[in-house]
Structure 1
Amino acid sequence: MTSETSGTSNVETEYLEINSKEAWPVLYQHIRNECGNYAYTCNESKKPQNRIFNRYRDVAPYDHSRIILKKGPCDYINANLVRMDRAHRQYILTQGPLANTSGHFWLMVWEQNSKAVLMLNKVIEKNLVKCHQYWPLEGSSNHIMMFPDVGLKVEYLSKTDASHYTTRILRLTDVESKESREILHFHYTMWPDFGVPQSPTAFLQFLADVRQSGALDQNVGPPVIHCSAGIGRSGTFCLVDSCLVLIEENGLNSVNVRDVLLEMRRYRMGLIQTPDQLRFSYEAIIEGAKQLPSNNVNINTNEVRNNSYNPVEAICNSLLEEVEEDDEEDEEDDTPPQPPPRGESLVKSEWIPSPTSDNADISSPPDKPLPCEPPSYTEPSTSPPPANPALVANNLHDQNSDNVALPGELHNDGENTFKASSPPSSPDTKNELRQRNLAKKEKLAAQVREMKRRQKETEEWQQLKRSLFKPLSIGIGAAIVGGGVIAFCGYLYLRG
């Protein structure tokens, strides 16, 4: 039976397969391992003069795709241009502005000729400042914010409230030339950090309104999309939008969600931060495809894969091979562990200027630990860093090559202190690292084995059902016995 005869697409078939085996952590880890092979650099973000412009110490823009400011005090901003040429889409993904980068943010909007800003977070989440208040509120006295460092001002004009988001119209003006533009500000307020919206329906309505506004059209600059770090919720939005464009143009079975995400991650690191966000992306793509006109979503029978193809099986086998191959490598690997990702043990790295600074953010609380990912899932560790020192230096969670402390970095805690120039040298430390890596691999291998066990049980049950319900033609007595077996099994099933 193919996807066509069952009325499902490849994306939906893959979703059901992964969901039935609870394999989202395995698939997510597989994607992270694939991206570990990328050799892109983040050298500009590591320069001492630019580090104060990064909200999180382990979320940095790739050099090859970073947005370069043409005006103002510096050319650096933590933002990347993400291109999906197949879908005729370009997005600018960036972190939530800091007090000292809000002017840079609006300068980027101006120079890139963006029609809209998409904000997918709240200013304060879980009692932590996740984004500076970079636009004027309707309740303020003059509805205007000035950014003298870049020669721009922003004026509030109007807003429209919906159940899950607010749409504002702002006027952005170049103070020197007096030229003005109206900027749409789409603010999605019901999307928790490290989480997902309650249902795809409201999110798809938000996406539809953004599309209808023309903010994603090719005749205007790329939309500026941000959450707190500019990778989790922002990446989810871009993945869903691009996949739906590809489905609308080429059919339901023209899209491999995993490949699209891997392609996007070549422009900005870490897009989509949790297995739940990956699962939600699939759900939104499936639901959005059903809402498209039927003549645009016909199943391409030449691309329908037979149900014998098992994406979970392929990923499990791949991960098992990686675990086995890495066992011998770890015996000679003395590389210190990489810093944890944003949601595990980092501190909030928003720069708090002095009270006399022009950019002082008096609403910003002192540094506190970032909220962890939901307790229902603990993300497995990444694969060991590559042996090539050049790749290690350019990795997502790289050490500080010049030993300059990053904002919010703890140097009084051995677990959070990290310097590239001081790798562990004692035998006890090396043994501890090997044991830690071995424990992580054993945990991942156990997850994979459990998935394969469930799959085997499912296949055995399917074979049993087919044998029990297979029509019998060897005589009335046998048919009666067969019927008795069927009835008895049905009785046990109902009681269970």
Structure 2
Amino acid sequence: MTFKFISRAYIVTTFNDYEKKNRWDNIYRKLYYETKKQESEMELSYDEAMTDVNFVKNRYQNVLPFDQNRVKLKTRKNGETDFINASPLKIPFANRDYILSQGPLDTTSGDFWQMIWEQNTRIIVMLNNVYEKGSMKCFPYFSTEDEKEKTFGDFKIHLDEETGTEIFRIRTMTLTATDPIHIEDGQTNQRTIHHFQFIDWPDFGVPSETESFLDFCQHVSDSEEKLRKEETFSPVVVHCSAGIGRSAGIGRSGAFVVVDSLLNYFQKQKTNHSEINQEIDGNNEIHVPATLEEFVLQIRKYRTGLIQTPEQLRFCWQSLNDWIKSNPDDDEPQQQPAEILPRKRQSTSESIEIRNRKQKIQEMREKLRKVEEYKNKWYRRWLDDDQKRFWVKSSLIAFGAVLATYVYTCYISKNE
């Protein structure tokens, strides 16, 4: 079945097909080669990030913003450059506007808050912990209950409120510009910042279930919609470790962007079909990708390496699939599967010990799955081919005949 554009039916149909045929590795491998080809054709470069003065501002040497698409700091003092490891990303068909950033370093936290101020950002999405497996993935640039007020360069932050669960934390902070150079005419020197941190994404893996991640995405989306109504909407800054997830942090941000933007698109599609139909017909010149693979390639034009593993690609698809099954579109029943099963909810009050145990079980299952996949590939390579199957059978028969002859000879010799 082919689809003209990404839809609920497309997500459900392709997810089931890829699951049944276990195509995730192949799909991801194809994306990898198409991404390399795309970057070459677009002549994307990293020259600015590679200069001596800017290179030390990068957390990872292989996760750099393209020269053609990077955020530039507006106010510079003491000969500082305009460089920060961050990339803007607009997704018109989903009405989403992001900035994908690396997790701030100790030496770049002041630049990070300057970017937040200059871009008028009110929402920050953090998809990692400060420390993971004993390694610092992000400098603690935000205020907490233990340290409610911090200062970074020309900016001061104060924690007003912190809520949440063991899965994610939601902080409301006041950002204050302490130097008048950053304040334009008519502006106040304070703003409210909403900080969302998802803390249950394991390094080198994906969450054990989609429910908590979808809840997290909904909290962020609700905050975005509220700001839109107040006409204070601006780019949402998203970061993990490097702003793109594996250990380098370049997949979690990509996964969030894919899921958040498509969920908003599906919700918008349900509430305003006429507007969406105009976009699909091209009247408003807004391109809607035909496939999720095309969408991933599209966002990779703006920041390198978004979605880092086949498991992360599958998790994006599964999250969307689970959301669709628990939020059926009554206006398009013909596109839905015959049976709609509710998404299984998992309590967010489970102990950390239980969740860690479940994560270990998931990792063991993943290892077993890969072993079985390898074994299946080995057998298919030999036994699905008629000539090789004949060769294997003939060899076994010949070996059996030789072995029988040898045993018989030994028996005769022993009895003589």
TM-score range, shorter chain: 0.5 to 0.7
Alignment partners' CA distance in 1, 2:47 and 2:324: 40
SS of aligned partner of 2:49: helix
Q: Determine helix, strand or coil for the equivalent of 1:31.
A: helix
> Which of these residues, 213, 216, 241, is aligned with residue 228 of structure 1?
241
Q: 1:230 offset after TM fit, Å?
A: 1.0
Alignment equivalent of 1:173, drawn from 168, 172, 176:
176
1:209 maps to 219
Matched residues in 1 for 2:319 and 2:85: separation?
Answer: 28
Equivalent in 266, 288, 292 of residue 257 of structure 1: 292
* Residue number in structure 2 paired with 1:138: 145
Give unpaired runs (5+ residues) of structure 2. Answer: 181-187, 245-250, 274-287, 338-362, 368-373, 385-416
Cα distance change, pair 261–104 in 1 and its aligned pair in 2 (3 A) = same
Preserved contact between residue 194 and residue 274 of structure 1 (Cα < 8 Å): no
Relative distance call for 1:145 and 1:18 in structure 2 (3 A) is same
The answer as to whether partners of 2:102 and 2:240 remain within 8 angstroms in 1 is yes
Name the CA distance, whole Å, in 2 between partners of 1:172 and 1:182.
6
Kindly provide the amino acid, as one letter, of the partner of residue 162 in structure 1: T
Task: Determine what percentage of the aligned residue pairs are the same residue.
Answer: 34
Q: How does 1:118-133 map to 2 (within 5 A)?
A: 118-133=125-140
1:156 to 143, 156, 159: 159
Q: 2:305 aligns with which of 249, 263, 270?
A: 270
Change over 3 Å in CA distance of 1:254–1:97 after alignment to 2: closer
Does the CA contact (< 8 Å) of 2:9 and 2:335 recur in 1?
no
Residue in 1 that maps onto 2:95:
88
Aligned-residue CA RMSD in angstroms?
A: 3.2
What is the aligned partner in structure 2 of residue 35 from structure 1? 35
Please point out which of 51, 59, 63 is paired with 2:55. 51
Letter in 2 for 1:193: D
Distance in structure 1 (CA, Å) of the matches to 2:318 and 2:172: 31
CA gap of 1:254–1:290, structure 2 versus 1, over 3 A, is farther
TM-score computed with the length of structure 1 as normaliser: 0.57
Deviation, 1:222, is 0.8
Q: Normalising by structure 2, what TM-score?
A: 0.68
Alignment-derived partner of residue 322 in structure 2? 287
Check conservation: 2:95, 2:265, Cα contact below 8 A: no
Tell me if structure 2 keeps the 8 A contact 1:157–1:171: yes
1:66 alignment partner in structure 2: 70
Letter in 2 for 1:144: E
Distance 1:272 1:200 in 2: 16
How far does residue 68 in structure 1 lie from its aligned partner after superposition? 0.6
Aligned residues: 309
Structure 1 residue runs without a partner (length 5+): 305-373, 378-443, 455-496
Deviations 1:146-173 (A, max 9, x none): 122xx11111111002241010011101
- How is 1:280-429 mapped onto 2 (pairs within 5 angstroms)? 280-292=315-327, 294-295=329-330, 298=333
State the SS of the aligned residue for 1:9. Answer: helix
- How far is the alpha carbon of 1:299 from its aligned partner? 5.2
Q: 1:98 to 1:449 in 2, by over 3 A?
A: farther
